[in-house]
Amino acid sequence: MSIAQEKLEQIRAQVRSHLDWRQSTELTAARKDALESTIRGHLKAQNAVIVAHYYTAPEIQALAEATGGCVSDSLEMARFGRDHNAETLIVAGVRFMGETAKILTPHKRVLMLTLEATCSLDEGCPIDEFSAFCDAHPDREVVVYANTSAAVKARADWVVTSSIALEVAEHLAAQDKPIIWAPDRHLGDYVQRESGADVLLWDGACIVHEEFKSRGIRDLKKVHPDAAVLVHPESPASVIEMADRVGSTTQIIRAACELPNKKFIVATDQGIFYKLQQAAPDKQFIVAPTAGKGATCRSCANCPWMAMNDLEAMAAVFDRDDNEIHVPPALADRAMQPLERMLAFAETLKP
Ligand code: SF4
């Protein structure tokens, strides 16, 4: 078993325990109103704005929208946080998103609802092992996914998000540059197939997307033969093969609007259904089936770390002293370079 796989097994155990112990967080209407009112007061008093990911709970996304914040994928979150004039960014997502925001805007205060909200891709790519891996292949361009620590980004030549992963791989393939791709093996495998790039994969995976099963989707297609299948490229190849469209969260939302189908089977985190329903209210969205190694589903298309972002935690975000993101300046300077390369490259792709 590789180091990354070993680490992933430990993470799976932690997630199982987290899911087992997670209490129902159903709020009464009165409690929800009170929390939202507290949060609005804090945002105003602290000149703060909410930067939320598509995978967070609907009430978090709704509040971000209603208070002038943003709901988006990690690339747009990074851009929004950098360009907004708020002094404090409240990042509703997972830790690497907060780190990215801090790297891009070191003068701003970046708060997370909890620093425990991590990501199996980030956890499965420890800097020392990854650095040794890169050192063993010095002739390769190092491309890392945004879902990594600041230290791993600092070791990279390129950072990518799923919305431009393929374009960056094509760009490097056109220059005959061999690549190290980390940490997601499914996304790396997908860009390798699509771009023809020479890719050496790190062995990481997203614990949510790797649970989607092609057999389950095939069975669901029998019940809904008119449904188009939308798949995030962190999913296994057998699931990607069944897709009518493969893409990042933003690209999945766009596909739901563009395709003529009235029904969609969606292989990504269920949090995206809030925005899908908003973007295409006359269409029906069905979550793609998942299954763990045992009889029960481990995540049920719902990232356990994203689920830590709830209204109670948001209301308490200014009361804590253990939830601010700090990135050492020298590390941030180094990590900034591949991040800025990504943002500049993304600009060149705009129509
Ligand atoms: Fe990481 Fe997967 Fe959760 Fe996204 S859904 S934060 S990739 S574990």
pLDDT tens digit string along 56-91? 999 999 999 999 999 999 888 988 999 999 999 999
The CA distance from 306 to 315, in Å, is 16
Atom of ligand 1 nearest to the CA of 269: 5
Return the best residue to mutate from 14, 73, 306, 308 for the ligand 1 pocket (most ligand atoms within 8 A of CB).
306
The CA distance from 193 to 231, in Å, is 16
CA of 30 to the centre of ligand 1 (A): 32
* Closest residue CA from atom 1 of ligand 1: 119
pTM > 0.85:
yes
Q: Letter for the amino acid at 290? A: T
Average pLDDT, stretch 173-192?
Answer: 96
Ligand 1 proximity of 11 Cβ (cutoff 6 Å)? no
Alpha-carbon distance values, 261 to 75, 219, 252, 279, 313 (Å): 28, 18, 13, 14, 38
Ligand 1 proximity of 15 Cβ (cutoff 6 Å)? no
Atom of ligand 1 nearest to the CA of 184: 7
Residue 292 clears pLDDT 60, i.e. is over it: no
> What would the pLDDT profile of 14-30 be if each residue is shown by its tens digit?
666 665 655 555 789 99
> What would the pLDDT profile of 42-59 be if each residue is shown by its tens digit?
999 999 999 999 999 999
The CA distance from 166 to 258, in Å, is 20
Q: What is the pLDDT of residue 296?
A: 47
> What would the pLDDT profile of 144-155 be if each residue is shown by its tens digit?
999 999 999 999
